[in-house]
């Protein structure tokens, strides 16, 4: 049972991570509230949790400013698919590999207003969410818990404002009627994390081959993580932009608190690192990319203690995740 609860918690945490990583616009993530940087300059600012953009290479001529100009009242439907493989070792003993179900989440977005200064007002709602594929020898309780948690986000919606570089300036999330405390806690944690997860476009004019770095810190399932994403402008023609992205994440030793953990379980992180690569392709006159893919691998080591037990287990986890987002 304890193993089932741990696997379930890990999968739910990873599903939440996928939601946070969802490239909701060409600027990559969708935060709720972030502070605006100084206009016209992409430079890092120390001691700030606001995502910082640093232009590394402006690329070749001709150069233009990357700015979002989506059409008003056009509804876009996006499907995000998340595949994961997880290998867990507890106190030196490896658990048999079990198939983790594929998560499929559908959401809709619609731009409702564009301000004279270019600020974009839009609505967002999850319309479907479920698991699919072979679950192999995964315990039925774990499978059902994952499905239940994913289905609980259906009906979660909100309205948001971001500028034409992708910096989010405000927003509200509305929970479906009758939402239980676990959903409220999960969405609350997502909201807190998303405030720092923007990946805005550079202020400067750029051309093919341009590179810029976005640095931020986030809260990933109760764990404080330092994030660095490096983007490269692969192509820009007839309003269609294609970007390559590399991702690095690192976390210092810390205690982990999360509503997704079984009651009474305490986790202490000893080490965490993650690397990934992806590609985003879309139009500047649409809010959501046509297609976005990312592959991420992570390694972590932590100590765990269950309620009522003085015994401490060392848990090492290797996770590989592939996420695809397609919109129309």
pLDDT at position 58: 98
- Upper half-sphere CA count for residue 296 (Cβ side, 13 Å): 24
pLDDT at position 195: 45
Q: Which two tokens stand for residue 309?
A: 């037990």
Short-list 188, 202, 194, 190, CA closest to 50 = 194
pLDDT at position 292: 92
pLDDT at position 188: 62
Neighbours of 192 (CB within 10 A): 13
For each of the chain's 328 residues, which pLDDT tens digit applies? 444 444 445 554 544 444 444 434 455 443 332 223 333 444 444 334 678 899 999 999 999 999 999 999 999 999 999 998 888 888 777 765 557 889 999 999 999 999 999 999 999 899 999 998 877 777 788 888 888 888 888 998 889 898 999 887 888 888 888 777 777 766 665 555 444 445 689 999 999 999 999 998 877 667 788 989 999 999 999 889 999 999 999 999 998 876 666 777 788 999 999 999 999 999 999 988 999 999 999 999 989 887 777 788 898 989 999 999 999 9
| Residue reference for tokens 């207003």 | 113
The phi-psi region of residue 100 (left if phi > 0; otherwise alpha if psi is between -120 and 50; otherwise beta) is: beta
Output phi, psi for 192, to 5 deg: -65, -40
**C-alpha–C-alpha distance, residues 260 and 264, integer Å:** 11
**C-alpha–C-alpha distance, residues 171 and 33, integer Å:** 7
**C-alpha–C-alpha distance, residues 325 and 328, integer Å:** 10
Q: Which sign, positive or negative, has the C-alpha torsion 25, 26, 30, 36? A: negative
Neighbours of 68 (CB within 10 A): 25
In angstroms, how far is CA 124 from the centroid of its own chain? 15
Query: What residue spans of the chain are helical by DSSP H?
Result: 2-21, 140-152, 181-194
| Residues 51 and 226 sit within 8 Å (Cβ to Cβ) | no
Q: Which sign, positive or negative, has the C-alpha torsion 194, 189, 223, 151? A: negative
**C-alpha–C-alpha distance, residues 87 and 271, integer Å:** 16
Q: Which helix (H) or strand (E) holds 7?
A: helix 2-21
Antiparallel, parallel or unpaired: β 254-256 and 240-251? unpaired
């Amino acid at each position: 049972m304890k193993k089932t609860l741990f696997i379930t918690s890990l999968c739910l945490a990873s599903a939440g991570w996928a939601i946070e990583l969802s490239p909701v616009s060409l600027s990559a993530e969708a935060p709720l509230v972030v502070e605006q940087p100084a206009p016209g300059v992409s430079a890092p600012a120390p001691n700030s949790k606001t995502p910082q953009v640093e232009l590394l290479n402006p690329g070749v001529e001709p150069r233009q400013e990357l700015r979002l100009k989506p059409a008003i009242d056009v509804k876009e439907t996006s499907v995000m698919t998340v595949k994961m493989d997880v290998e867990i070792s507890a106190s030196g003993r490896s658990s048999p590999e079990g198939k983790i179900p594929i998560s499929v989440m559908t959401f809709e977005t619609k731009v409702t207003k564009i301000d004279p200064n270019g600020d974009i007002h839009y609505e967002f709602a999850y319309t479907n969410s479920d698991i699919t594929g072979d679950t192999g020898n995964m315990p039925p309780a774990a499978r059902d818990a994952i499905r239940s948690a994913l289905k609980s986000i259906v009906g979660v919606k909100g309205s948001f404002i971001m500028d034409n570089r992708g910096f989010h300036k405000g927003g509200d999330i509305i929970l479906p009627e009758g939402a239980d405390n676990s959903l409220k806690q999960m969405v609350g944690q997502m909201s807190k994390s998303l405030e720092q997860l923007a990946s805005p476009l550079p202020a400067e004019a750029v051309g093919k081959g341009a590179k810029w770095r976005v640095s931020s810190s986030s809260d990933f399932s109760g764990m404080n993580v330092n994030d660095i994403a490096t983007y490269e402008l692969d192509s820009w023609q007839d309003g269609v932009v294609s970007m390559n992205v590399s991702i690095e994440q690192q976390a210092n030793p810390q205690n982990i608190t999360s509503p997704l953990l079984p009651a009474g379980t305490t986790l202490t992180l000893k080490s965490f690192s993650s690397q990934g690569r992806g590609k985003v392709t879309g139009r500047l006159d649409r809010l959501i990319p046509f297609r976005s893919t990312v592959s991420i691998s992570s390694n972590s080591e932590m100590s765990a203690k269950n309620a009522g037990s003085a015994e401490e287990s060392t848990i090492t986890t290797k996770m590989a995740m592939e996420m695809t987002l397609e919109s129309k």
